[in-house]
Structure 1
């Protein structure tokens, strides 16, 4: 029975080491995670999976995106002819008069 825990710990340590290296951890940090997994696999493997998922979610949440032009998707009314048009235009597509002039 103790050999089963040793095999599970060894396989878990190899997987954790490989996964941490793939995610960009330093060699020393990967080695620490692998050693912890080898010594206490029942505690370290679930903890590692939880923290890896949290880091992935934080990276997704913190991604900076460029501001989007939402006016290009909105319908607007021409102040000259009253027709609706879509986009952020300088001239009305219906009456062909400048929208920006007062």
Structure 2
């Protein structure tokens, strides 16, 4: 029975270590989470899952990467004078080619 708890704790620690590395934690932080999971899994795993969910929610609502701002810019067609958005190959109004090599 003790062996089963040991194996479950070890598997939980490995999973937490792998998951923290996947989420971008430092190696040191991942090792701390894994050790805590191995020693006190009943307390650490629920706390880890809770803070991990909150962290992912925060990341989704506050993106830090580059954004495409060109899709919101209106450009004027040189052929018909109508405005269009985005980066199409042909004007959506007159259908003439906009991109030239």
Provide the TM-score with structure 2 as the length reference. 0.62
Check conservation: 1:8, 1:41, Cα contact below 8 A.
no
SS of the residue corresponding to residue 63 of structure 2 reads: coil
1:16 matched to 2:16? The reply is yes
1:75 is matched with none
1:4 is matched with 4
- Unaligned 5+ segments in structure 2 are 75-81, 85-92, 94-101
- Unaligned 5+ segments in structure 1 are 73-86, 94-102
Q: How many residue pairs get matched?
A: 75
1:43 is matched with 43
Q: Select the structure of larger CA radius of gyration.
A: 1
Q: What's the RMSD between the two structures over aligned residues? A: 2.4
Name segments (4+ residues, structure 1) moved above 3 Å.
64-69
